[in-house]
Amino acid sequence: MASSITGSVGQGGINRAEDVRTVQELFNKILSAPLPLSDQVSDELIQAITNFQKAFLSRPDGRIDVNGRTWRELTAVAEKPKKEEISGSVGQGGQNSPQDVQVVYALFNKILSRPLATSDQVSDELIQAIRDLQKTFMSHPDGRIDVGGRTWRRLTTPAGGIGKAVILSFDDGPAPTSALHSILDTLDRHNIKAEFYVLGQEVNSNRSAVKEIANRGHKVQNHSYTHPNLAGLSKSAVRKELEKTQESIKKAAGVTPTKIRPPYGAGGWPPYDRELAAVAKELSLTIQNWDIDTEDWKSPKGIGPAKRAMIDRQFQRKQHQSVFSVLMHVLPDTADDLEDFITQLKQWGFTLAKP
């Protein structure tokens, strides 16, 4: 859809209320959603937009306020300005046409390009935030806005986390226990409860660690006894793997698992492996695979910045879902990266839900 801008939005002195609302709405579309920290977006851009957002305070009536002064006051509303019109999907991300991108670019130029003077009308913080924001944008001849080689379309594509939830899950524990304790401490700091899919043979060697998982309010679940491919086993062999793990967890932590996550996810996707499904039903276990695989065991190990774009793409592909089970493992690198990863999920807009 073609988009057009007329009038004098951002020039100051002759803008009417409708123009002010147009600017306000467009800024909200572009800047309100958290931007993902990944190789898709530079840290400089994120910091610039964060600073810009912090300079504005949103009021209940929808006005934008800077140090007690409304956006209308800052743009000097007058009685008879020209009409302004914006159409299309500007700022919504993912489906913006070149015309839409040019509209955003043009409007940003109108608002931000002229030098801002320090006065009692505009705070020093706002001026610096806008200048920082300007510095991070570079125009292309074709009208795109590019930050470090990334187009505006990608920058305005939300990660899809607003109003959605994630459940953190950790496989293959409880060993190594040093990594486990670090993970538990990080979860405690954020008041997050998670699921731990543990191996029965590791439980028997680390009973106190399994008990600690339960005592801290997390769910201890079944991940088999020896980590075999359950889809390739007979029903009796599957039962042995699951039953022994159930018994080990009950003995160590005093809790009975309610879920089974088969190693490698084998047989755990619909249509489920027949033998696995039958045994799970007999033991009152729900088969629970994951929605998002962090691939934290692959090089580079962990869930650091190098993995963020891959994880973001998985969320993007499953935007129809409202709750996601995120797969990680009890590993030292994952433990080290968990603090920042939780912060990233929150910046993407996700709520950390209880399992």
For the stretch 325-342, pLDDT in tens is: 999 999 999 999 999 999
First to last CA, the chain: 43
Give a yes or no: residue 28 inside a domain: yes
Residue 301 has pLDDT above 60, yes or no: yes
CATH number, position 264: 3.20.20.370
Report if residue 7 sits inside a domain: no
- On whether both 151 and 173 belong to a single domain, the answer is no
Does residue 140 sit in the same domain as residue 169? no
The half-sphere exposure of 130 on its side-chain side, counting CA atoms within 13 A, is: 20
pLDDT bucket at 89, cuts 50 / 70 / 90: very low
Q: How far apart are CA 304 and CA 39, in angstroms?
A: 11
Burial 122-158 (b: 16+ CB within 10 A, else e): bbeebbbbbebbeebbeeeeeebbebeebebbebbbb
Is the pLDDT score of 185 beyond 80?
Answer: yes
For the beta carbon of residue 97, count every other beta carbon within 10 angstroms.
Answer: 15
**Is 3 a domain residue?**
no
Residue 176, preceding bond cis, omega within 30 degrees? yes
**190 and 134 in a common domain:** no
Q: Are residues 127 and 63 in the same domain?
A: yes
Which pLDDT does position 105 carry in this prediction? Answer: 46
Return d(Cα 93, Cα 98) in angstroms, integer.
12
| 8 within domain boundaries | no
Residue 2 covered by a domain: no
**Weakest-pLDDT range from 78-82, 93-97, 225-229, 252-256:** 78-82
Domain assignment present for residue 280? The answer is: yes
Range with top average pLDDT, 41-55, 60-74, 116-130, 208-222: 208-222
pLDDT at 162: 55
329 catalytic residue (yes or no): yes
Element holding 215 (H helix, E strand)? helix 207-215
| pLDDT surpasses 50 at 15 | no
On whether residue 169 sits in a domain, the answer given is: yes
Same domain, 111 and 182: no
Q: How far apart are CA 264 and CA 257, in angstroms?
A: 19
84 and 116, same domain (yes or no): yes
- Active-site entry in 223, 273, 329, 337: 329
User: What's the confidence (pLDDT) of residue 164?
Assistant: 84
Eight-class DSSP state of 88:
S
Task: Tell me the pLDDT band of 232, cut-offs 50, 70 and 90.
Answer: confident
Structure confidence at residue 322 (pLDDT): 86
Out of 136, 155, 174, pick the residue that ends a domain: 155
Per-residue pLDDT at 70 exceeds 50: no
Same domain, 169 and 149: no
Q: Could you give the number of structural domains in the chain?
A: 2
| Residue 42 belongs to some domain of the structure | yes
Return the exposure string of 213-248: e unless at least 16 CB atoms fall within 10 Å of the residue's CB, then b.
bbeeebbbbbbbbebbebbebeeeebbbbbbbbbeb
Q: Give the mean model confidence (pLDDT) for residues 45-66.
A: 43
Query: Which residue, 92, 127, 155, sits at the end of a domain?
Result: 155
In the sheet that holds 57-58, the strands lie side by side as: 57-58, 64-66, 69-70
Domain check: are 348 and 311 in the same one?
A: yes
For residues 299 and 205, give the distance between their C-alpha atoms in angstroms, rounded to a whole number: 28
Q: Find the catalytic residue in 19, 171, 172, 273.
A: 171
Residues 217 and 113 in one domain: no
Which residue range(s) make up the domain with 126? 17-155
Q: How far apart are CA 12 and CA 22, in angstroms?
A: 14
Mean model confidence pLDDT for the chain: 70
Same domain? 149 vs 225 = no
Q: Give percent of the chain with pLDDT exceeding 70.
A: 54
Report residue 78's pLDDT band, with 50, 70 and 90 as the boundaries.
Answer: very low
Q: Which of 103, 123, 155 is the last residue of a domain?
A: 155
Are residues 47 and 182 both part of a single domain? no
pTM exceeds 0.85: no
Known catalytic residue at 320: no
What does the pLDDT look like over 239-293, one tens digit per residue?
999 999 999 999 999 999 999 999 999 999 988 999 999 999 999 999 999 999 9
Q: What pLDDT score was predicted for residue 141?
A: 37
Chain length of the chain: 355
Query: Are residues 205 and 107 part of one domain?
Result: no
